[in-house]
Structure 1
């Protein structure tokens, strides 16, 4: 009964929100959405780089014109399948992200954060991919103009000492050899500006061999290696594939593939604490709960959900790790 009342309340709220648009406003949004859909398709399917970049430029200009309009936060842009559009759990903002590919070795991400404003004057912040200029990307504290680019597929909201932290799950095709998955903790400063990265956000102090904490987390692996980074609602944990080198060269990221084991992160005292073995069993070859390798942009064009389902494994209690003294913090590279 409680779920029914919740559904009815959400339905009524959504209906009331939709009714706020005048016919002229709806027409304007739909015209712009049609143009965005066309250029968004060309960003992915343009026959050459010139077409893709020109389409991206047109797409960006039209999207800005749309989201600066009054009530634009209420407009869903549901037909845009070539970009990611995700909302924070508290519905205070949404993030648009997409990627532009020049060639096999050049892929850049773009995006906007749009805020909900109760007074109706929506505002947005652009995101500029500067990853190519950042040497120590796992430890750099970044802003919107100095951003580690990614196409976001999930936001997990946590709180510590009365402050909200939004963990962003991101995908980056990177280059011909490797794919990247990012976990980046975003928060807002006193001027409501986004900050990407939190000091010591990802702790490895409880590992059997402790490592220094990092400000964000990177999982880089062999192209089409099918590694996954998910959030398990029931366990209240981030779960990701444990990687091994298929050529016994762990320093070469393009050789890393999942081995059927899982690692994780658990939010404790304002940090994601690493758990180096989530389940007390290991799956055999061929049993790893991962999908067939697929092209990310093709999924977008087919309208599939960007967020992937979490690994399906028998319910086990996460393995407890021995507590070790944290090491002295030092800067590390990628």
Structure 2
């Protein structure tokens, strides 16, 4: 199931226009040859036998990728056959970010990645990403590429504010046998060096304001699903509201969606929290609606609906089915 999720996320990775000179014929041939090797190694990382086999593939994959990227103007080469590796470009194509995952036999995951800058002279400028998520207790960090909160990125949204570019990254972490995570964080560049995280997720407009977060993370039940992504139509980040199905809020591995939605709107250089995207009034004399079992197939990030919307649809269908059919005279 987890491996199918990885592949489905990678197929959703958007393709962006690139600007850079293409590698020459010799360079392109070298890149194609390197891609063939990387494709086989990436499959071994994804589905190799045991920890030893997958780790051996990782040890070969990384130097092979670096050698390929050293080819002049390699930035323009898409590596589109690497189906288990996420490769994302921002709108301005100033860089691209590679991420991939290694599953251990214990059910825990480790992530790997690199940022390749789009250089004018075609020479390689690369920032390797070192996953430290297994060794930190405070996830609300601001860090460089050497202290990266590892994940598999599946989307990137670029914003411009006061002569600064902000790149919002959306990531997924299969985490462990009991829970998985989705996260959103800001990537910026300071003196040409990547910075992950920052106080860009504001809760100042909540009824009870809370401190800003450097990184927003959803953790939820392994067998469940949760959405966290940018919605173009709403121009917002939209995500599932989660509740503990066992009424144990301290246990994140019990969290599931109640089919309600929260979000963040871009405002003055920050993502500002929206507590409830839909404001359906509760009828007088009735209590708050009880969360109902999820039908995940009905959920859509392009057309998010509240539980009340689904109830109204069901009622309309029921009425249509029970309505008597008039016979023709």
Q: Partners of 2:174 and 2:208 in 1: how far apart? A: 31
Q: Find out whether 1:312 has 2:313 as its counterpart.
A: no
Q: Partners of 1:238 and 1:121 in 2: how far apart? A: 35
Q: Which residue matches 2:122?
A: 120
Q: Which runs of 4+ in 1 moved over 6 A?
A: none
Determine which of 25, 28, 33 is the counterpart of 1:26. 28
Q: Find out whether 1:160 has 2:161 as its counterpart.
A: yes
Q: Which residue matches 1:86?
A: 88
Q: Is the 8 A contact 2:201 2:272 kept in 1?
A: yes
Extract unaligned runs of 5+ from structure 2: 1-16, 281-288, 307-329
Q: Partners of 1:202 and 1:286 in 2: how far apart? A: 28
What SS class does the counterpart of residue 50 from structure 1 fall into?
A: helix
Instruction: Using the TM superposition, give the Cα deviation of residue 206 of structure 1 relative to its aligned residue in structure 2, in angstroms.
Output: 1.2
Q: Is the 8 A contact 1:68 1:124 kept in 2?
A: no
TM-score between the two structures when normalised by the length of structure 1: 0.79
TM-score between the two structures when normalised by the length of structure 2: 0.80
Instruction: Using the TM superposition, give the Cα deviation of residue 21 of structure 1 relative to its aligned residue in structure 2, in angstroms.
Output: 3.8
Q: Which residue matches 1:42?
A: 44
What SS class does the counterpart of residue 91 from structure 2 fall into?
A: coil
Instruction: Using the TM superposition, give the Cα deviation of residue 280 of structure 1 relative to its aligned residue in structure 2, in angstroms.
Output: 2.8
Q: Partners of 1:175 and 1:93 in 2: how far apart? A: 30
Q: Which residue matches 1:151?
A: 152
Q: Which residue matches 1:142?
A: 143
Q: Is the 8 A contact 1:226 1:290 kept in 2?
A: no
Q: Partners of 1:222 and 1:33 in 2: how far apart? A: 36
Q: Is the 8 A contact 2:20 2:73 kept in 1?
A: no
Q: Which residue matches 2:238?
A: 239
Instruction: Using the TM superposition, give the Cα deviation of residue 209 of structure 1 relative to its aligned residue in structure 2, in angstroms.
Output: 2.5
* Aligned residue runs from structure 1 range 1-334, under 5 A: 20-138=22-140, 140-190=141-191, 192-198=192-198, 200-281=199-280, 285-286=293-294, 288=296, 310-313=301-304
Q: Is the 8 A contact 1:290 1:311 kept in 2?
A: no
Q: Which residue matches 2:314?
A: none
Extract unaligned runs of 5+ from structure 1: 1-12, 292-308, 316-334
What SS class does the counterpart of residue 104 from structure 2 fall into?
A: strand
What SS class does the counterpart of residue 249 from structure 2 fall into?
A: coil
